[in-house]
Amino acid sequence: MKARSKNKKERDYDLLLLEAASTKFLDAASEFSSEFEGMDGDIYHSTFRKFNETNWMYCNQKEVSGMDKVGDEWDYSKGITGIYRYRNI
């Protein structure tokens, strides 16, 4: 399969996943901030890991949402998303 432009259904799916990642990240950021303040600058490692992981998920979803093509294989440098990402939509 040659790379092609994403269709509307695929772009909408990307936005749905980006919104979910954004919500999880904001929830984790809120928890992190509250704990940081409540513990005078200390933080549980598990809270930091949750915050860090949701940040990575958000950044990754944002990057993938910005890719404008779909192909057989992922190619970040060319902005191509792997077709298997959209098989369940």
Which pLDDT score, from 0 to 100, does residue 22 have?
98
pLDDT tens, position by position, 28-43? 999 999 999 999 888 8
Confidence of residue 49 (pLDDT cuts 50, 70, 90): very high
Whole-number Cα distances in Å, 73 to 24, 58, 84, 85: 28, 22, 9, 10
The residue behind tokens 């992190």 is 32
Q: Where are the alpha helices (DSSP H) in the chain?
A: 8-38, 45-66
The residue length of the chain stands at 89
